[in-house]
């Protein structure tokens, strides 16, 4: 039987995995001082609010998979993009060895022959933009203030590259799990051309820095329609797109791009992580996924960006079902 790590690499290269990679079981995600500084103090639970390190107020509504930024009225931090230098202040990326020590100990405790030590970054570049100024202003500013937008994106890019160098220096992760949603359920937020102009150069630098410093697997969360951006994802250096919803036509994407990028998905949270979820419904969804996409270049699981589910038991049921179906699909 292959280790979790061996089975992952066989899946990504289209080799000979002996079972499905099961949801997030392939990533040993660990925090670090920079990540916690960005997240802000305190633990955010469903029904609550908190401020991030950048001062953005996050709200986690009951019955939803995760928190969302509050960007209206008094909560909008950046009201004029041309004034961004007076509003957006870089968070620290350099910490003492003493501050790093407990996180280094976590990484050292992982059996690296079997599991992938995984760094985390969230929110990403695009999300940082609309966290500060709201989605409407963000989209308008791409058209009306492109120079200022390029400047702010470059600023966030330098922050993320500094983050990468420090985390790799201290914890030596093999994988990165990075959040940045780039679309809705129906379309991308930016056209492929605009995405190529504003977002791709940033991520080529960011993901290039992680890989130059030892990371082998880039997992990017984006639970949206973004099929038209897959060539750009490959150009950026993404190895696994985590979260593509069904509207992306996964069988076609696997057929066209398998071997260049893999896909972690299969159970859209909006359909399977609901108040009326059932084991039968989850199994039917997984069988449909396996029967249409096959067993290579895919990691089955929910599309939300992390372990767990909005409704108790759904995630655990999916994990058990994937293990059980592995015995059937990998005879």
Average pLDDT by stretches of 10, the chain with 331 residues: 95 96 97 96 88 94 84 93 96 97 98 95 97 96 98 98 98 98 95 97 98 98 97 98 96 97 97 96 98 96 94 97 97 83
What pLDDT, on a 0 to 100 scale, did the predictor assign at position 64? 78
Q: Can you give the pLDDT at residue 224? A: 96
Strands of the 27-29 sheet, one edge to the other: 27-29, 116-121, 175-179, 217-221, 240-242, 262-267, 298-302
> Quick one: tokens of 206?
């960011």
User: Structurally, what CATH architecture does the domain formed by 4-329 represent?
Assistant: Alpha-Beta Barrel (3.20)
- How many CB atoms within 10 Å of residue 84? 20
- Phi-psi category of 215—alpha, beta or left, where left has phi over 0 and alpha has psi -120 to 50? beta
pLDDT at 308: 92
Do 174 and 181 touch, CB atoms closer than 8 A?
A: no
- Residue 8 to residue 25: CA distance in whole angstroms: 10
Q: Which among 325, 294, 184, 293 is positioned nearest to 247, based on CA atoms?
A: 184
Question: What pLDDT was estimated at residue 42?
Answer: 84
**Confidence at residue 45, expressed as pLDDT on a 0 to 100 scale:** 87
- Tell whether the torsion through CA atoms of 171, 175, 176 and 177 is positive or negative: negative
Q: Which residues pair with 178 in a beta bridge?
A: 121, 220
**Entry pTM:** 0.97
């Amino acid at each position: 039987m292959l280790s979790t790590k061996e089975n992952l690499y066989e899946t990504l290269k289209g080799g000979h995995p002996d079972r499905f990679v099961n949801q997030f079981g392939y990533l040993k995600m660990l925090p670090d001082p920079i990540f916690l500084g960005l997240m802000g103090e305190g633990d955010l639970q469903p029904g609550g609010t908190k401020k991030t390190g950048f001062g953005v107020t996050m709200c986690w509504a009951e019955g939803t998979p995760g928190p969302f930024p509050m960007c209206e009225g008094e909560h909008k931090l950046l009201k004029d993009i041309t004034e961004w230098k007076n509003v957006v202040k870089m968070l620290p990326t350099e910490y003492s060895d003493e501050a790093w020590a407990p996180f280094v100990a976590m990484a050292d405790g992982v059996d690296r022959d079997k599991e992938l030590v995984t760094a985390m970054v969230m929110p990403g570049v695009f999300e940082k933009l609309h966290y500060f100024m709201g989605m409407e202003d963000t989209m308008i500013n791409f058209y009306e203030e492109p120079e200022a937008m390029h400047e702010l994106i470059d600023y966030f890019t330098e922050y993320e590259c500094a983050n990468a160098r420090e985390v790799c220096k201290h914890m030596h992760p093999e994988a990165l799990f990075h959040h940045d949603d780039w679309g809705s359920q129906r379309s991308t937020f930016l056209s492929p051309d605009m995405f190529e102009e504003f977002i791709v150069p940033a991520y080529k630098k960011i993901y290039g820095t992680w890989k130059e410093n030892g990371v082998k697997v880039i997992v990017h969360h984006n639970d949206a329609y973004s099929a038209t951006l897959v060539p750009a994802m490959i150009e950026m250096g993404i190895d696994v797109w985590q979260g593509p919803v069904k509207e992306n036509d996964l069988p076609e994407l696997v057929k066209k791009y398998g071997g260049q990028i893999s896909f972690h998905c299969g159970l859209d949270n909006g359909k399977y992580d609901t108040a009326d979820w059932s084991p039968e419904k989850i199994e039917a969804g997984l069988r449909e996924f396996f029967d249409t996409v096959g067993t290579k270049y895919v990691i089955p699981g929910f599309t939300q960006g992390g372990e767990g589910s909005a409704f108790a038991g759904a995630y655990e049921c999916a994990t058990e079902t994937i293990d059980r179906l592995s015995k059937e699909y990998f005879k």
